[in-house]
Structure formats: structure tokens, C-alpha cells
Chain A
Amino acid sequence: MNIQDTAQSWSASINELTLGATSAEGGTRAKTVTIGGGKCIPWLAYEGSVGHRPAIAVEVWDAGMGAWPAALLEQYGDATSDAATWAKKAVELGADIVALRLMGTHPDMGDASPDEAAATVKAVLDAVDVPLIVWGCDVEEKDNTVLPKCCEAAKGENCLFGTIKEKNYRTLVASCLADGHKLIAESPLDINIAKQVNILAHDVGFPLENLVIFPTTAALGYGLEYVFSIMERGRLAALGGDPLLQQPVLCDVGLQAWRAKEAVASEEALPGFGPAAERGPLWETISATNYLQAGADILVLRHPAAITTTRDAIDRLVEGAAALAV
């Protein structure tokens, strides 16, 4: 019996986007990372190219790590004492990208000045040779003073800055344009707003191909399937030719997974859920690998075991795709 071939072919693909700049390109990175380029439903290599390998970004904070669960912090030992040392550790653990979150600039977590933040960015750039994501503290007014300074400090390094939102985008767009960085466009689980943020950035002169979509991330059990379907819709629209949804997608997995009570609660509090030490990294890994299936291009992770296991999953997906490729 003949089974009908259900492979679809797509007219468009996800944008390719490169982070980091080598000395030849005006930066100081030893490695650059290129993501995107997929021309199929994630991993269905018989439809078209799966594109570049998804990248793992490992999260590093400049301050306020007291907010991290102890089980997670102990994995990093003394490395969390300063952002540069932490970043080195992240690279040791296998980070393709270091995701520096400037929580120390948060008014309630040290309120570091823009200059202090810029110095931190410089220090991390000096400490590691992989590309950088620089993420603000998510207090709009503060980010609008801090991030421009950081953009300037990292000029030429082709970093990924975040985030711009529907209601706050002009300042960061202007800085990233001036200093040659890429941008994370954030939307609250809404495909319409995802498009709108991209249009708004485009309207003030930012190239669509320099944007990464951050559609908001949820941990397993906390709305993951909702995010999954939003990403799926975005991917289908992108492959169908919508230039406003063809940006690579970033998932902020570590932060969300470690907010889940299942990831951190003791065995007494959650009987039947298995050993606490395994649960956290598993929660993070399962969330991350789900998003790989949804088409994530960058996964921001935390736990060493999650990093290793997710990397292994990516290896196997890439291998499988190569075997399927036409």
C-alpha cells in the first residue's frame, strides 16, 4: 500500500542571524554563533533545511543571586562571586553564548549605576570569548538609562540586547542601531503583539533581520503548551512568508523552570515526585527540549545537568535531521 507523502514544502525560512564579532569583524570574540535558517517545521528535515543548530546560552547575573534556589547556586560554587568569573564557568559548562542579566541594576537589588553596569559588561567581554546576550533588569525606566551605556561599552561586539516591548522600544532601538547590536523583541504570549513589536522597531529604522523574537516562556506545567502553540503558529506564518515572524526565537527556560515549585520543593513537601536533586534539572531539561521541538533557536539555561542533557538532545536531533535530509 502506498502511503501518501505528507511532506510540505515551504517558500520562506527563518532568518539567519549571527551573534558576536571576531577581530576581523571589529570585535574581540574568538567565536561567533549563527542561528536560524530553518526552512521546515522544526526538525522535519525531509521538508527542507533544519537550519543552524540551536544555541545554548547560559545565564549569568551581576548581583542578586540570593534569589537563586540553593540547589542551583551550589552547582556554581564560588564562581558566582562576580559576573566575569561566573561567565567563565558558564563557558566551561558548555555555553555557546553567555546571557548576562543585569539584575544588580534593579532598584531593589543594588541599583547599580549605568556606568557600573557598563563596566560589568566590559569585564564579562574580557573574561570570555563567546558572544553575549545583555539583558536588563526589566524595570523600564532603569533599563532605558542602563542599556544605552552598556551598548556603547560593547560597541562592535555584536551582542544581543533585550528586551524591547510594545510600550518601550525607542531608546534601546536607537542605541543598538548606533552601536551595531542585535535586539530581543518581547511579547506577552500574543502573536499579534509579537508582530507589532517588530513593526514598531522596523518603523524607527531597525532591520527586521537583526531581531530575535522572545514570545515569553513558561515552564513545564505552567502554560508550556500555550507557548508551544504560539511558537508553532509563528513558525507556520514565517514559513508561509510573513517577514514579521521570520525572526529566530529565544526561550528563557532556566528562569521559568526554577520558579516552578516542582523544581525546588523538598521531598517532604512533594512526596511522590522523586529526589529533589534530580527534579530541578529535569524540570529545566524537559521544558528546554519541548521548546526545541517548537522551534527554539536560543535556549537560556542554568543548571549544568540541564545544559549537558539539552546539548545531548540537540546533538541527536541534528544527527537525526542529517539522516532525514533530502
Chain B
Amino acid sequence: MKAFLQKFSSTFGADMGGPLIAFVAVMAIFSLAADNFLSLATFGSVAFQLPELGLLTLAMLLPLLTGGINLSVTFAANLSGLAAAWVLQANGGVDAAGGVFVLACLAALATGAAAGALTGVAIAYTRAHPILVTLSMMIFLRGLGEFLTRGGDVSGFPDYVAPIGHGSLFGLPIPLLIFILCVGVWHVLLTRSKLGFGLLMIGSNMEAAEYSGLNTRRIVVLVYTLSGLMCAVAGIIMMARFNSVRVGHGESYLLITVLAAFLGGINPFGGFGRVLPVFVALIVLQLLSSGLNLMGANQHLATALWGVLMIVVMAARTLASHTRIFSRKKA
């Protein structure tokens, strides 16, 4: 048993334990409780719902790893979506050409990056607590979005936009493919890039990182800019899925992204964490809500159970670390 645990840790990382056990538990419980759980339909619904929450969680992930947080992710995504929608509308709306869509995506990415960069600069240069900066940024972006749209929807896009939200490629949903691509990029960024190394270092001790010659301000600005870029990707997907943009879409995901990240073993104080366990944690959350859906319960019960799951996993981690210290002392 011990040998197995060690092998598991060295293959997947110790932080993979929580999400994988939860995954197995959810799969087991629902396959027993609902006979139609293990079906293509379930996995289809998971595959289509995962990307929105997933992309926003990726946007949340980098700031969390630096010991910060980005509470403006959902509204940054909305605003990026708005930017894309306007470019499309200003250039023909439903009749916009393919080139316009590229332009629209660029506008969205630029908007997300700008919002992120502004946040990053405010945090890096004032050293104000990221909760506060991003919280006020959230209030500002929400206000800006509501002001620009007057609380309404922006819709009417060319036909080819919808497949980005609903279509499939090689049997896999396009949004899922985009999400997996982003997970891959984030994974490489965190494990292999200088920026990824630096952001983990500043997550556990910003000053020590600065003394070792890392450009901590630049890292902070880049982290929030990348977070904003990822919000823009989420915003584009959301626009394609709903075929409209509305400020407030996905608002309820905000705290879920934090929950998913912690569930995936991200250290709440920053400095430690990986993308893959978070990916598994996201799948668990979606399976839970799809399973409950199959059994006739609504999303709200799933939300409540997400909270319960989180507490169970965190409590189990506390217990596990206690017994580990205990056994080390004994050894």
C-alpha cells in the first residue's frame, strides 16, 4: 500500500490524489445510482459545459499561484465578448465575413489583455492586496459593461460563429478542443517557462525572488495580462455558445473557479500547484452536476454539493497532513 502510494505520488504528483479519488467516487456513485449515467450523452454534456468554467478557472489559476486572485475574470470575459460582438456588428453583423471574425477575436483578446494588464500594473506598482484591486476592477468592469450595453444583450452574429460553441471536430466538441489546447499551453507555461517558474517563486516569497534577480513586477503584470487573455478566450466561447453577449453571463462561475482551483490542489497561499489536477477537479465538478441533472435535480443542488465536496477534500487534506506529520514523528 505504501509503495503504491509512493509510486502514485511520483507518477501523478501528490496533489493529484484528492481530485482522482473524488473522480472515482463520483463515477462510482452515479453509475450505481443512475443507470444511464455511463452514457455518451452524459459525457457529451460534460464536454460541452466544461470549457466555459474551465477557461475561467485557467484565468483564475495563474493569479492564485502568485498568491493573488483575480475576481474580475467573469466580467473581463463579458467585456472581451462585447468587444468581439461589436467588431462583428460594425462590419456587417450576420453577414460579416470570415476575416472580420479574426479581427473580432483579436479585439476580444486585446480587451482582455488590457483589462488584465491594468490590474497587473495596479497590483505590481501599488502592492495593494490583489483581492482589493481585482474586486474594484470587477465592480468597474461590470459597471462599464452595463453602461455600454444598458443591461441588454448584444446578438446577431454570422452563422459560422455558432459551431465554435456547439460544433464538433473529429467527434470532439470544438470548445473542448480549445480548452484542452489552453490547458496544454498553461501546463507548459507552468512547468517549463521562465515566467511559470518565476510566478511560483513569487507566490511563496516575492522578496526572495526579487533578491535572486527575478523581475517580480514584470512577472505580476504578465500574470494578470495572461489571465485577462484567457478571460477573452472564455468570452469568445461564451459568445459562440449563447449566440449573444450579455454582461453577467457566467457571473456565478466566479467563486466556482476559485473552488475548482483549490480542489485541484492549488495552495491557497500561492507558490504551489499544477494544471492537470485542476483539470481533473473541473471534470469532477461537471460530472457531479451532469449526474445530478440526470437524476432530476437542478444545478443549484449541484452547486451546494460542490461546496460540500470542497470541504470534504480540504478536511481530508488536513487529516492526511496531520497523520503524515504524526507518522514522521513516530518514525
User: Is B truly associated with A?
Assistant: no
Interface residues, chain A, CB within 8 Å of chain B? none
Interface residues, chain B, CB within 8 Å of chain A? none
